Structure 1
């Protein structure tokens, strides 16, 4: 791989990592600060939404740190991919566990979130393969 191709590949991966961080931060803030709205619209009570929001805010910080390193570290990006794969599976399974009394909108949002997180995992995994 040429230096130019590698630079372009790293730039795309950084962009995806930053978009992932922004999405985590936005949803994390919604889940923590807007827990009453989340409970009413989604059926995801504060006992679920606040810890999920704190987790997402932590993910946002970690993603921003990984994306901001002068040279991307393949092992860190693989860690991001593993975290996203686990999170996508958990989000996809939660509506069907009976642990939470979700509204229809809540089920749609969690399944949509699972799809978005899985997409980030695929894009970041593809980028990680291109890192040395």
Structure 2
């Protein structure tokens, strides 16, 4: 019984770390897109009409992730909600560059597709963590 308790605690600790890292990445990119959109627009080609709402969304995600990670007892349903959100974000980031809705630069393609890959990685890690709690 002690082994199970230790394993669950270790799994929760790892999951909290992944959630916090995801929150930090969302916060950093969200701040860059909102406060620094004038700097990144020439590099990415998103324009403020796309960059600012994306940044606000990411800042909201950062807050939600930090709250889920900081809750005294991780709630599996909340973590599954994070996984679903991340899966949808992965699809959106991967598809948007090819829709013709945004006139991206090469840097924009790299950032959005790289972001899709990073969010996909968080999705897999958080899904694995959810399965262990």
* TM-score (norm: length of structure 2): 0.97
Tell me which stretches of 4 or more aligned residues in structure 1 moved more than 4 Å: none
Q: Which residue is 2:120 aligned to?
A: 118
Q: Which residue is 2:47 aligned to?
A: 45
Q: Deviation per CA, 1:51-100, whole angstroms, max 9, x where unpaired?
A: 00000000000000000001000000000000000000000000000000
Q: Which residue is 1:13 aligned to?
A: 15
Distance 2:97 2:61 in 1: 22
Task: Give the Å deviation of 1:24.
Answer: 0.2
Task: Give the Å deviation of 1:129.
Answer: 0.3
Pick aligned residue for 2:5 from 3, 9, 17 = 3
RMSD: 0.7
1:34 equivalent to 2:36? Answer yes
Q: Which residue is 1:94 aligned to?
A: 96
The count of aligned residue pairs is 131
Distance 1:64 1:84 in 2: 14
* TM-score (norm: length of structure 1): 0.98
1:64 equivalent to 2:74? Answer no
Task: Give the Å deviation of 1:37.
Answer: 1.3
Task: Give the Å deviation of 1:38.
Answer: 1.6
1:73 equivalent to 2:75? Answer yes
Q: Deviation per CA, 1:22-67, whole angstroms, max 9, x where unpaired?
A: 0000000000001111211000100000000000000000000000
